[in-house]
Amino acid sequence: MPVTTREWQLAARPHGEPTPDDFRLVETERPDPGDGQVVVRMLVMSVDPYMRGRMNAGKSYAPRWELDEPMRGGAVGRVVVSRSPAVPEGALVLADAAWRDVAVLDAAHVRVLPELPGIPPSYHLGVLGMPGLTAWTGLFRLAEFRAGDTVFVSGAAGAVGSLVGQFSRLNGAAAVIGSAGTPEKVRWLTEELGFSAAFDYHDGPVADLLAAAAPEGIDVFFDNVGGEHLEAAIGAFKEHGRAALCGAISAYNAVEPPPGPRNMFLVVGKRLSLRGFIVSDHGDLQGEFVEKVSGFLQSGELVVRETVREGLENAVPAFLDLLRGANTGKMVVRLGDS
Ligand code: NAP
């Protein structure tokens, strides 16, 4: 008797903002696992801004999703059948998997996760996973953060941004300033995460809001948003300022290339360094990152928040809402109990 599973497929490539019609939830037959394969019941899956680029026909840094094929991304699940000696039944695993509730995967392509007390599986998609490593890499390797720096982070209430601000504070920043899209997020940054100042970027020109929050200028900018935020940061930099360019979500749905910062020449006069990066090039930092961040979690110094949606059928709404800013902290979709 065939076993069925549900999966999300890409139905159309969007022009501008994606809509529910660009996706399709279908039932498919689950194949039996072959030698060297495992069957994984998914517990939680990730929706991430970079997936917007995977919907396009053109080149992005992650492989594009193909039409009428399942969409893929990070997910954590439990092995329910194993035909590999390397991955035991019952193991908690991280995989790049199709958006499915049950998946048959090559054991060589899953990573067995440690079962740590007090660490829910979803943390491996957020604070201890790709977004956490992104925050760590951009701040310490690319922006060369040092104690005493004044740091500005855009998209500060999101998965990456909320960690950048806290890593800065925990490592001796003189001040940490964040921008976000709602008054509630701004309050969360200053009242719960320990940011020195924060503003809602809808409240006026970002350059003015940043100048008011950091009157003496900034040393480090961690950019998740691009556009007006980048121009404002270039204006606010002190000499020898350093930016880690992580993302530009303000332009992900743009149908025409957005204009660049009008003040680029300040990069020369201020001797600025603006460095783009992709986290997957920096896997060598994984060990140091997990050790330090696990320590912060155990000591209770790091505040972690997630926005959790329930059920595979809500994966696409969660992704569309993420792009519109419905999340505080990491957006994840819960597919089952451990
Ligand atoms: P996230 O910040 O948790 O979620 C996305 C957030 O973007 C939303 O909550 C929304 O918050 C904000 N946003 C949406 N449209 C915006 C706009 N027009 N202007 C300003 N903000 C807007 O997502 P994340 O996973 O932490 O990713 C943050 C950034 O890092 C993204 O740009 C992503 O592509 C990038 N990233 C890069 C790498 C890399 O290797 N370089 C790896 C991971 C992530 P508001 O309510 O504040 O608007």
Is there a single domain that holds both residue 267 and residue 318? no
Shared domain check, 73 and 191: no
Average pLDDT of the chain? 97
Q: Which 3 state secondary structure label does DSSP give 196? A: coil
Protein residue whose Cα sits closest to atom 45 of ligand 1: 181
Answer yes or no: is the C-beta of 328 below 6 A from any ligand 1 atom. Answer: no
| CA-closest residue to ligand 1 atom 4 | 158
Host domain of residue 222: 130-280
The answer, yes or no, to whether any atom of ligand 1 lies below 6 A from the CB of 158, is yes
Do 91 and 203 lie in one domain? The reply is: no
CATH of the domain at 59: 3.90.180.10
Q: Is residue 288 part of a domain?
A: no
Say how many C-beta atoms besides its own lie within 10 A of residue 165's C-beta.
29
Query: How far apart are alpha carbons 83 and 209 in whole angstroms?
Result: 57
Residue 248 sits in the same domain as residue 185: yes
Pair 77, 169 in one domain: no
Answer yes or no: is 296 within a domain: no
Verify that 47 and 146 share a domain, yes or no: no
Domain count for the chain: 2
Query: Are 153 and 259 within one domain?
Result: yes
Can you give the pLDDT at residue 2? 62
In this prediction, residues 268-272 reach a mean pLDDT of: 98
With beta carbons less than 8 A apart as the criterion, state whether 27 and 4 touch: yes
Nearest atom of ligand 1 to the alpha carbon of 247: 32
pLDDT of residue 117: 87
Retrieve residue 268's tokens: 């020369």
Asked if pLDDT for residue 222 goes beyond 80, the answer is: yes
Tokens of 80: 């329910």
300 within a domain of the structure (yes/no): no
pLDDT of residue 60: 83
Distance CA 84, CA 150 (A): 50
Residues 57 and 196 in one domain: no
| The overall pTM is greater than 0.95 | yes
The values of phi and psi at residue 239, to 5°, are -60, 145
> Is residue 181 in contact with ligand 1, taking CB distance under 6 Å?
yes
Which residue out of 160, 186, 255 has the highest number of ligand 1 atoms within 8 Å of its CB and is therefore the one to mutate?
Answer: 160
> What band does 1 get if pLDDT is binned at 50, 70 and 90?
low
Ligand 1 atom nearest to 179, measured from its CA: 47
* Per-residue pLDDT tens over the stretch 295-328: 999 999 999 999 999 999 999 999 999 999 999 9
Whether residue 174 is found in the same domain as residue 268:
yes
50 within ligand 1 shell (Cβ under 6 A): yes
